[in-house]
């Protein structure tokens, strides 16, 4: 598996274009062909990246010169496409969110096991060096017992006429459920990665400033096994921001700045810090030497660890089982907002 060959199932999710662009420079992996149910979109993107366009999905999956596929179709199609790829013996790299129902998550997990393929979610948070550093600091107890963690993951998409126009599958309740499902899944995975599976959640998710998608803003408060509170703030109408992450413990505080789209549209002020920690008893913040990284750079970082994983040189960014836990977190958040009650996880 020194030289891996990839296919793409749908260009619907725009992140795959950045994956394809960065992989043009890989010496050990190459994208060979793609299929898309939108013929115009598929042929346009294939021409851009110099790869074959297959008009039939089965034809793509029958190709012997493809070892793995990126599945970046609308979310409600994920299970069907994963199962088809697994049956064809292709390893799968699946765009978030995993699916819209737990039944589809279970079907994906079952197909991965049945056909013995390699599988990973494409969760970009785990490919980010700053997030990796925060994970290491938490695991080593650098801030002691954590009381509250807040993470914002936001975009301004619903204020952008190009994104908000009719026909965009991201705002279709059938194909994508809602913006909280689509985008908050990143932050939900981040919380699960940092603290494990939550015990309960209380949430508010609604349309507040738009009526374009099923929801445009949401806040979920998760409680974890050691009583930690995790505040997930997701917005699809955010114009600008700064502090992305705050972690408050009894021995220290961690603050991350400029870590999502609204906070990385433009360079930070001179001397600003992307990540810093305050230790109890200290007289000043300790700053880590992380350069300012635009939001898109984190997306472009996703393919490298996935290629390494398929070559047996690393772990998946997130397993199918972990992908399901994130969907449990999101669906429970919607239930809490809808019913006005705390929802507990099994």
Does 164 fall in a domain? yes
Same domain for 242 and 262: yes
Does 311 fall in a domain? no
Ranking 105-114, 156-165, 258-267 by mean pLDDT, the lowest is 258-267
Q: What is the CATH number of the domain that holds 253?
A: 3.30.360.10
Query: What whole-number distance in Å separates Cα of residue 78 and Cα of residue 91?
Result: 14
pLDDT score at 269: 86
Does 120 score more than 70 pLDDT? yes
Q: What is the CATH number of the domain that holds 110?
A: 3.40.50.720
Same domain for 129 and 112: no
> Which percentage of the chain shows pLDDT scores above 70?
100
Summarised one tens digit per residue, pLDDT across range 210-220 is: 999 999 999 99
Q: Which domain holds residue 242?
A: 125-293+328-344
Same domain for 43 and 91: yes
Domain boundary among the residues 117, 133, 149 is at 117
Same domain for 100 and 177: no
pLDDT score at 236: 98
Across the range 83-88, mean pLDDT stands at 98
pLDDT score at 291: 82
pLDDT score at 82: 98
Same domain for 337 and 194: yes
Does 139 fall in a domain? yes
- Do the beta carbons of residue 107 and residue 79 sit within 8 Å? yes
Does 307 fall in a domain? no
Does 23 fall in a domain? yes
pLDDT score at 270: 84
Same domain for 51 and 75: yes
**Radius of gyration for the chain, computed over Cα atoms and rounded to the nearest angstrom:** 20
Same domain for 135 and 107: no
pLDDT score at 294: 81
Query: What whole-number distance in Å separates Cα of residue 279 and Cα of residue 129?
Result: 21
Same domain for 239 and 132: yes
Domain boundary among the residues 92, 117, 142 is at 117
Summarised one tens digit per residue, pLDDT across range 292-346 is: 878 888 899 999 999 999 999 999 999 999 999 999 999 999 999 999 999 999 8
Does 177 fall in a domain? yes
pLDDT score at 266: 81
pLDDT score at 1: 60
Same domain for 141 and 274: yes
Does 310 fall in a domain? no
Across the range 275-304, mean pLDDT stands at 92
pLDDT score at 284: 97
Query: What whole-number distance in Å separates Cα of residue 234 and Cα of residue 248?
Result: 20
Averaged pLDDT of the chain:
96
pLDDT score at 58: 97
pLDDT score at 219: 98
Q: What is the DSSP letter of 72?
A: -
Q: How many CA atoms lie within 13 A of 109 on its CB side?
A: 15
Summarised one tens digit per residue, pLDDT across range 54-84 is: 999 999 999 999 999 999 999 999 999 999 9
Total number of domains constituting the chain: 2
pLDDT score at 228: 98
The residue length of the chain stands at 346
Same domain for 131 and 94: no
Angle of CA points 102, 107, 113, to nearest 5°? 125
Same domain for 64 and 182: no
Band the pLDDT of 113: cuts 50, 70, 90. Answer: very high
Domain boundary among the residues 117, 143, 168 is at 117
Summarised one tens digit per residue, pLDDT across range 219-273 is: 999 999 999 999 999 999 999 999 999 999 999 999 999 999 999 888 888 888 8
DSSP per-residue letters across 45-94:
HHHHHT-EEESSHHHHHH-TT--EEEE-S-GGGHHHHHHHHHHTT-EEEE
DSSP per-residue letters across 122-149:
--GGGG-HHHHHHHHHHHTTTT-SEEEE
Same domain for 287 and 170: yes
Does 298 fall in a domain? no
Beta strand 275-279 pairing with 343-344 = unpaired
């Amino acid at each position: 598996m020194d030289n891996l060959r990839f296919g793409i199932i749908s260009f619907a999710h725009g992140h795959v274009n950045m994956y394809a662009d960065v992989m043009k420079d890989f010496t050990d992996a190459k994208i060979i062909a793609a299929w898309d149910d939108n013929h115009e979109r598929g042929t346009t993107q294939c021409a851009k990246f110099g790869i074959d366009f297959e008009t039939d999905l089965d034809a793509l999956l029958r190709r012997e010169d493809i070892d793995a596929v990126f599945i970046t179709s609308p979310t409600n199609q994920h299970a069907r496409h994963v199962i088809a790829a697994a049956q064809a013996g292709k390893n799968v790299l699946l765009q978030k969110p995993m699916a819209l129902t737990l039944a589809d998550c279970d079907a994906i997990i079952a197909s991965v096991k049945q056909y013995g393929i390699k599988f990973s979610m494409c969760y970009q948070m785990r490919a980010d060096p700053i997030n990796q550093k925060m994970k290491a600091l938490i695991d080593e107890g650098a801030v002691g017992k954590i009381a509250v963690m807040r993470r914002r993951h936001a975009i301004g998409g619903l204020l952008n006429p190009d994104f908000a126009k009719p026909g965009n599958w991201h705002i279709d309740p059938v194909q994508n459920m809602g913006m909280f499902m689509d985008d908050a899944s990143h932050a939900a995975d981040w919380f699960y990665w940092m603290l494990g599976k939550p015990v309960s959640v209380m949430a508010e998710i609604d349309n507040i400033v738009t009526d374009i998608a099923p929801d445009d803003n949401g806040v979920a408060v998760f409680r974890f096994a050691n009583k930690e509170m995790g505040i997930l703030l997701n917005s699809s109408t955010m114009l600008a921001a700064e502090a992305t992450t705050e972690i408050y413990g009894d021995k220290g505080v961690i603050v991350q700045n400029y870590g999502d789209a609204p906070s990385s549209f433009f360079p930070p002020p001179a001397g600003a810090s992307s990540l810093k920690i305050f230790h109890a008893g200290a007289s000043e913040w300790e700053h880590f030497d992380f350069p300012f990284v635009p939001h898109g750079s984190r997306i472009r970082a996703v393919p490298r660890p996935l290629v390494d994983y398929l070559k047996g040189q690393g772990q998946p960014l997130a397993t199918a089982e972990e992908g399901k836990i994130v969907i449990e977190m999101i669906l429970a958040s919607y239930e809490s907002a809808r019913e006005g009650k705390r929802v507990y996880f099994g």
